[in-house]
Amino acid sequence: MKVKLLILLILLLSFCTLFSDVVNYDKVIRNLKGIKSYEKEEFENSEDNFKRNAIKYPKDSRLHFNQANAQVKNGMLEEAEQNYKLALNNENFDDRSKALQNLGNVKFLQKDYKNAIKNYRDALVENPQNLDARYNYELAARMLQRQQEQKQQQKQSKDENDDKNEEKKKQEQQQQKQEKQDDEQKDKQQKQEEQKQDEKQKSQEQKLKEQKKEDAEKMLKALLQKEKEEMKKEKEKMNVDRTKTGKYW
């Protein structure tokens, strides 16, 4: 399969033969130079000669066609596309099928398989015997199908990843919510514990205060009782002294 695909790609990249039957002498010489450079794979020199000719003789479709072929070899696909279209502007251009086929090759190289198929189809309409266009049409159709399948797989994979990410996000949110609830519960328990400690401390302080008050009252009663007893003793002593002396105040 890979070997067959490689052969088809070689056919695809083998652009149609350059044209050399031009009229003006200077145009002929420069066109031949371009063809010679092209055959030597000196594509920059080839494209330069064709470009000069195309600028000087803009109505010559074959010159645009040749320039486009050299530009493809130089990787100048967008420029090549424009020159193929300039060649195709001439309804009397006798190799429209080849130009359309090469335009399809440009779109193929750009992985624009849908438009590549369109150009290959147009090339076959112009010339049903263009076998290269037919092969390339079939290859582009397979590549388009593969591309669409890959896009579908990528979309499916993306959707699955999105679903996984969404599920993960929900789990994280649920976990965060649970952690928040746990923290709130811990804070509540801690506050309750602190409140209990405060109440216990206040209770202890109140008991201590009451105990001190009670002790102070006992001490005061004891002092009063002692003072009362001492006064009683003093009074009794005074009564005894009066009895002895017979004096009363």
Q: Per-residue pLDDT for 11 more than 50?
A: no
In sequence order, the 6+-apart residues with CB closer than 8 A to the CB of 144 are 113, 114, 117
The reported pLDDT for the residue numbered 248 is: 43
Radius of gyration of the chain (CA): 55
Query: What average pLDDT score do residues 56-72 get?
Result: 92
Evaluate if pTM is beyond 0.85.
Answer: no
The tokens describing 228, both together, are 């009362």
Per-residue buried b or exposed e for 216-232, using 16+ beta carbons within 10 Å of the residue's own CB = eeeeeeeeeeeeeeeee
What percent of the chain lies above the pLDDT cut of 70? 87
| Confidence class for position 62, pLDDT limits 50, 70, 90 | very high
- Banded pLDDT at 167 (limits 50, 70, 90): confident
The residue ranges of every structural domain in the chain are 2-149, 216-249
Both structure tokens of 244: 């002895």
Lowest model confidence (mean pLDDT) among 109-123, 126-140, 182-196: 182-196
Is 2-149 assigned to CATH 2.30.30.30? no
Residue 136: which residues within 8 A CB-CB, separation 6 or more?
8, 11, 12, 101, 104, 105, 108, 116, 120
Average pLDDT over residues 154-182: 84
Q: Percentage of the chain surpassing pLDDT 90?
A: 41
Q: Note the maximum CA span of the chain.
A: 179
Give residues with Cβ within 8 angstroms of 181, minimum separation 6: none
